[in-house]
Amino acid sequence: MLPAHFAALTTGGSQQRMRHFISQLLVMAELQLQHEVEPQLLNVDSLDEDREYSDASESIKKKRRKRKKKKTIAPGTNEAEGEGEAGGVGDVTKQLELQTLEDKEREEDGEEDGGEGENSTGKKKKKKKSKGCKGQTDPPSVPICELYPNGDFPKGEECEYPPSKDGRSAAWRATNEEKRALDRANEEMWSDFRQAAEAHRQVRSYVRSWIKTGMTMIDICEKLEDCSRKLIKENGLKAGLAFPTGCSINHCAAHYTPNAGDPTVLHYDDVCKIDFGTHINGRIIDCAFTVTFNPKYDRLLEAVRDATDTGIRVTQLFLLWMMILLVELYTKINQILNHHTIQCLEGEVYAIETFGSTGRGAVHDDMECSHYMKNFSVGHVPIRLPRAKHLLNVINENFGTLAFCRRWLDRLGESKYLMALKNLCDLGIIDPYPPLCDIKGSYTAQYEHTILLRPNCKEVVSRGDDY
């Protein structure tokens, strides 16, 4: 039975209208057919994508099991890449999930196998090397040798030798193969100095964080030395402190460390020289700096620090006179305390040390002695006092020819040794080094660095961020 509007068109007798209506009817039927078929096609595509996702996941799991068995890493592929372009947002999401899963699997396999993996672009991803130590503690307690287990200790400041007397540059040393070979031949020695220098840098940085007015000089020295012993990993004569901690104050320029019972306290208007040393296998780092709290001393410290840097800069392989002439403090002109004569030879090590003073610029022995050192050139000397023989054995065993102080003898449990120590000094076996002082009421400052005269360059091995 024909629809009513179809019958109306037929009875109207218009053949043209009949054709037009039939064409419209066919178009509508075609659209309805497409509407019914497309969901089925989409469902089929979705099923195909699900199968691809499942197959890809299963393939990755199989590859992972295979890698673990063979302990090797095979290059991975992204099975979903480039497929399902008509899938829209769902297709992109699945591809991202596959990519993430593959990357995660490769990372895990790379860590387990200890090798290198590949990312989706085929480039190798290097496995991160684990560090031997997490880092230094606060306060410092981890030995430097454990912070750098591979023995590659930080270098100091490397600088070129100054021009020779005839004006020729020394830049050729840096590239000369013979000089570089000589430098490499001494690498073990340089390494010992660098290890001791790194311990010195970390200790003095620690000291600057807590030193303050009101502390006794004994507390300052013992706290510094305790830290230094840990970082250098004290081991008899193989590693330890090179000499007693100097903490000379004001007109006293050097060689003062407190003996037991010394009540001296650090004050706001004091100028305190912190001079201590570390060593590895007898290779000594001798380095010093000055601590002040009153800014009126800043110009004195700056002048002495610049004098030390100048001495380092002009050090050459010939006889050097290091003389710094004037220091201006407040409105007065004052001369430098000391000058050093240094004969420098290639392959040797020197300490460049400068003192500045507001006094006469000359020093003399004064105050109670605290520093001592065995005379390494003395021959056999007969000792009659049994107590002196015992004390010499203690000194030989613990210090050798390194400097020591009375506090260190106390630390070893020695007591009532002053008469024996005096006897060894009188015999010339032990040399005393009393404090060196300028006139009372004056102020002295000090800066010092150790430099390595390497064949191809100079290395200020004790240089740090502080000075």
Q: What is the pLDDT of residues 332-365, one digit of tens each?
A: 334 334 433 334 577 889 899 999 999 999 999 9
Q: Which of 279, 269, 305 is nearest to 290 (CA)?
A: 305
Catalogue all structural domains in the chain, each as residue range(s) with its CATH number.
Answer: 178-327+339-361+437-466 (3.90.230.10), 369-433 (1.10.10.10)
Distance CA(112)–CA(75), nearest Å, equals: 16
pLDDT at 128 over 50: no
Q: Give the distance, in angstroms, between the CA of residue 430 and the centroid of all CA atoms in the same chain.
A: 38
Residue 233, both tokens: 């990993």
pLDDT for the residue 56: 52
pLDDT for the residue 345: 77
Average pLDDT over residues 156-170: 89
Average pLDDT over residues 167-193: 94
Kindly report whether the peptide bond that precedes residue 140 is cis, defined as omega within 30 degrees of 0.
no
Q: Residue 66's pLDDT band (boundaries 50, 70, 90)? A: low
pLDDT at 262 over 90: yes
Give strand pairing partners of 365: 436
pLDDT at 150 over 90: yes
pLDDT at 97 over 80: no
pLDDT above 90 as % of the chain: 60
Q: Which residues contact 10 (CB under 8 A, 6 or more apart)?
A: 2, 18
pLDDT for the residue 28: 61
Q: Are 181 and 264 in contact (CB under 8 A)?
A: no
Distance CA(359)–CA(301), nearest Å, equals: 15
* pTM greater than 0.75 (yes/no): no
H helix or E strand, kind and range, residue 277: strand 271-280
The reply to whether 255 sits in an annotated binding site is: yes
Residue 59, both tokens: 């393939």
pLDDT for the residue 163: 87
3-state secondary structure of 409: helix
- Cα torsion for 154, 156, 157, 160, to the nearest 10°? -110
Q: Residue 329's pLDDT band (boundaries 50, 70, 90)? A: very low
H helix or E strand, kind and range, residue 30: helix 15-70
The reply to whether 353 sits in an annotated binding site is: yes
> Helical H runs in 71-186?
89-113, 144-147, 172-175, 177-185
Per-residue pLDDT tens digits for 367-394: 999 999 999 899 899 999 999 999 999 9
pLDDT for the residue 286: 96
Average pLDDT over residues 79-93: 46
Distance CA(285)–CA(283), nearest Å, equals: 7
Per-residue pLDDT tens digits for 283-328: 999 999 999 999 999 999 999 999 999 989 887 644 333 333 333 3
pLDDT for the residue 29: 55
Q: Residue 328: left if φ>0, alpha if ψ -120 to 50, beta else—which one?
A: beta
Residue 115, both tokens: 């090798």
Instruction: Tell me the average pLDDT of the chain.
Output: 79
pLDDT at 114 over 60: no
Greater confidence, 398 or 46? Answer: 398
Q: Are 447 and 297 in contact (CB under 8 A)?
A: no
pLDDT for the residue 313: 87
Per-residue pLDDT tens digits for 412-459: 999 999 999 999 999 999 999 999 999 999 999 999 999 999 999 999
Distance CA(220)–CA(258), nearest Å, equals: 10
Q: Which of 234, 257, 231, 232 is nearest to 244 (CA)?
A: 257
